[in-house]
Structure 1
Amino acid sequence: MPNCDPEDFYQLITNTANESKASCGLIFNTFEDLEGHELATIRQEYYPNIPIFPIGPFHKCSLTTSSSSSSLLAQDQSCISWLNTQAPKSVAYVSFGSLAKIDQAQFLEIAWGLANSGQPFLWVVRPELVQESDWLEVLPNGFLEALNERAHIVKWAPQKEVLAHPAVGVFWTHCGWNSTLESISEGVPMICMPCFSDQMVDARFVSDVWKVGLQLEHGIERGEVERIIRRLMVEEEGEEFKERALKLKEKAKLCLKEGGSSYQSLDGLVKHILSL
């Protein structure tokens, strides 16, 4: 919710929380092994008389395929062909969602930081991402050519397919909840650049609670970008993030199987609806 007045946003959240107390049940796009403590708090302190159904990750339950995607932008499948030519866990995937915007100076710092990291990168630069400019106008002449096919830029990507690709080693994200869950479900560590609303909390959980990513704490600066990519993808420290990310991936997978927490919660939801 960019450019939203803080008071209006606070009122929206307050109204949503209060009105939900009159519901017959609440469905959450999460799972017990990811947010068990938070779900317990919700049950005990906020909605003690309302059943809670954490049945996520939703996208793993959906029958939607890349060919029938609900995406508002056309997905460029060329990125999958390009990923097929890259080494395992070598690519930094960069996408800031459908609403975030950056200025020209930030765009250039990101571009140079990615280039200087030495890692191949897939960058989603959707229309209107760069304020008051086309990204091709901002990049220096010869920038992409100098990278010698180490970079691939598209307007929109089939994100779930990209994150599941074995070549992807890190995801630089705005930390919207859908993107965060998609990355967790594929065991991909994250670089966090939250922009507004719940993204701030999501990023803090990624970096400080689950410890499967790092935040850009000091703004967008090419040296910082290069360092954080190398920490996660090249240096020994990165192996710890990868191991924790893979453990969460396994938990996300198990929760949807028969007997898993989300499986049981979905079964409970169906029974609850039939009882109303």
Structure 2
Amino acid sequence: METRETKPVILLFTFPLQGHLNPMFQLADIFFNRGFSIIVIHTEFNSPNSSKFPHFTFVSIPDGLSEPESCLDVIEFIHVLNSKCVAPFGDCLKKLLSQEPTAACVIVDAHWYFTDGLTEKFGIPRIVLRTVNLSAFVAFSKFHVLREKGYLALQESKADSPVPELPYLRMKDLPWFQTEEPRSGDKLQRGTMKSLKSSSGIIFNAIQDLEPDQLDQSLKEFPVPFFCIGPFHRYISASSTSLLTQDMTCLSWLDKQEPNSVIYVSLGSIVSIDESEFLEIAWGLRNSNQPFLWVVRPGSVHGKELTEILPKGFMEGLQGRGKIVKWAPQPEILAHRATGGFLTHCGWNSTLEAICEAIPLICKPSFGDQRVNARYISDVWKIGLHLENKIERLEIENAVRTLMTSSEGEEIRKRILLMKETAEQCLKLPGSSFRNLEKLIAYILSF
């Protein structure tokens, strides 16, 4: 049996947010299955469960995060981590390279923008994993232009105005983040763009056949190799990197439902909504008369627990037609025969998982790439509906009924089924993701 010492070694530096851990570990499994030895560098904050990946070596670095710092808005949190991890990552890299002097490369999450100088110092190639699709990537890459032209200081009256630099998008679709200091977003984009352009290459969990124009546009601006090898999760058997405990009872509940009858609702691992929005969604789901499975994780409603918000007798009145859980095994739910629609925040991981199971979408984006994805889902690919107005129960009810029971919903279902076929074909010879993975592996082995 081949020992680890004879295998080419890849170092991976994970970013400790759920939507970033999932694709990084999927990528790690892809490389492991192709004969690489994997060393995972991770922070103490949101440390992954190494027992789920006995085939990897795990190395923890101190991040020095205080309790208040772990609760900052996303942008400030990224900056604090980048500041605090410079020395620990450098020490870790130095030690690992003394033990593994022939390590092929280090793959870092794009949020680790500080790493470019360190990897150059140690003379090891650095490849960046970008966890958004190509359309969102293009929008982020034009952030400085959008800021200079005043688009990001959005006025409500111009929300529906087109963005000349980004066909298909409206002003309200721009990748905006909620942060205490708006210029923090600029700092993040500058750091990320500099890090990407100085990298040895960029890996995307994306399908270039779905976004050929965006790929061409990106290649003109970025002087590094691009490798679109998604969907990652289709290469491997499922292995959970969930930071929250998954409620598996929802699968047995789904077993009792009719095929394509259930609307699955999940707004992701970060998004929070206020109590009024939560109640509008609740009544909209109930009034639609469709069975629903709803993920309401702790902290997903500002300052409230689920038991404090739901009206007395709400669940009992559904007579088993609805189920609410704190967290769920999403890939298994989307693959279940009973699931017929997905009300989502439109994070790229969730969007891609839905495409791969041909599950039509109802879009409720909040920030960042979610807004770009929602516009593409509803207006470009036409595989879902967009909740563009203030969230009200009637809008939710109508969207669910349209998606699940109308002729319009049936047309949407046909279109996403074609996209699923594209996603499946791209992984097989001579598909684009198949070819790009072969190129990526050859590229890494050439270092």
Tell me how far apart the structure 2 counterparts of residues 220 and 17 of structure 1 sit (CA, whole Å): 34
Name the SS for the 1:182 alignment partner: helix
1:57 aligns with 2:222: no
Unaligned runs of 5+ in 2: 1-73, 75-176
Structure 2 counterpart of 1:181: 352
Once the two structures are superposed, the pairs formed by residues 57-96 of structure 1 within 5 Å of their partners are: 57-65=231-239, 69-96=240-267
Show structure 1 runs of 4+ deviating over 6 A.
Answer: none
Once the two structures are superposed, the pairs formed by residues 1-276 of structure 1 within 5 Å of their partners are: 1=74, 3-4=178-179, 5-43=181-219, 45-47=220-222, 49-65=223-239, 69-276=240-447
Q: What is the CA distance between 1:60 and its match in structure 2?
A: 1.6
Name the SS for the 2:389 alignment partner: coil
Name the SS for the 1:251 alignment partner: helix
Unaligned runs of 5+ in 1: none
Q: What is the CA distance between 1:257 and its match in structure 2?
A: 1.6
Amino acid at match of 1:226: E
Tell me how far apart the structure 1 counterparts of residues 400 and 329 of structure 2 sit (CA, whole Å): 22
Q: What is the CA distance between 1:63 and its match in structure 2?
A: 3.7
Q: What is the CA distance between 1:86 and its match in structure 2?
A: 0.7
Q: What is the CA distance between 1:258 and its match in structure 2?
A: 2.7
Tell me how far apart the structure 1 counterparts of residues 233 and 360 of structure 2 sit (CA, whole Å): 18
Amino acid at match of 2:441: V
Name the SS for the 1:170 alignment partner: strand
Larger relative contact order (C-alpha < 8 A, sep ≥ 6)?
A: 1
Tell me how far apart the structure 1 counterparts of residues 254 and 330 of structure 2 sit (CA, whole Å): 12
Q: What is the CA distance between 1:59 and its match in structure 2?
A: 1.8
Tell me how far apart the structure 2 counterparts of residues 64 and 78 of structure 1 sit (CA, whole Å): 18
Deviation digits for residues 58-78 of structure 1 (CA, Å, limit 9, x no counterpart)? 12224433xxx1101111111
Tell me how far apart the structure 1 counterparts of residues 294 and 281 of structure 2 sit (CA, whole Å): 10
Normalising by structure 1, we get a TM-score of 0.95
Deviation digits for residues 154-202 of structure 1 (CA, Å, limit 9, x no counterpart)? 1001000000111111100111111111111111111111111111111
Amino acid at match of 1:16: T
Tell me how far apart the structure 2 counterparts of residues 10 and 192 of structure 1 sit (CA, whole Å): 26
Tell me how far apart the structure 2 counterparts of residues 64 and 188 of structure 1 sit (CA, whole Å): 19
Larger gyration radius, structure 1 or structure 2: 2
RMSD of Structure 2 on Structure 1 (CA): 1.2
- Which range is displaced more, 29-38 or 85-94? 29-38
Tell me how far apart the structure 1 counterparts of residues 261 and 317 of structure 2 sit (CA, whole Å): 19
Tell me how far apart the structure 2 counterparts of residues 54 and 41 of structure 1 sit (CA, whole Å): 14
- Which range is displaced more, 11-20 or 69-78? 11-20
Name the SS for the 1:27 alignment partner: strand
Amino acid at match of 2:225: P
Tell me how far apart the structure 2 counterparts of residues 99 and 63 of structure 1 sit (CA, whole Å): 26
Name the SS for the 2:211 alignment partner: helix
Amino acid at match of 1:42: S
Q: What is the CA distance between 1:85 and its match in structure 2?
A: 0.7
Tell me how far apart the structure 2 counterparts of residues 172 and 14 of structure 1 sit (CA, whole Å): 33
Name the SS for the 1:226 alignment partner: helix
Q: What is the CA distance between 1:14 and its match in structure 2?
A: 2.6
Tell me how far apart the structure 2 counterparts of residues 128 and 189 of structure 1 sit (CA, whole Å): 27
Name the SS for the 2:311 alignment partner: coil
Q: What is the CA distance between 1:270 and its match in structure 2?
A: 0.7
Amino acid at match of 1:188: I
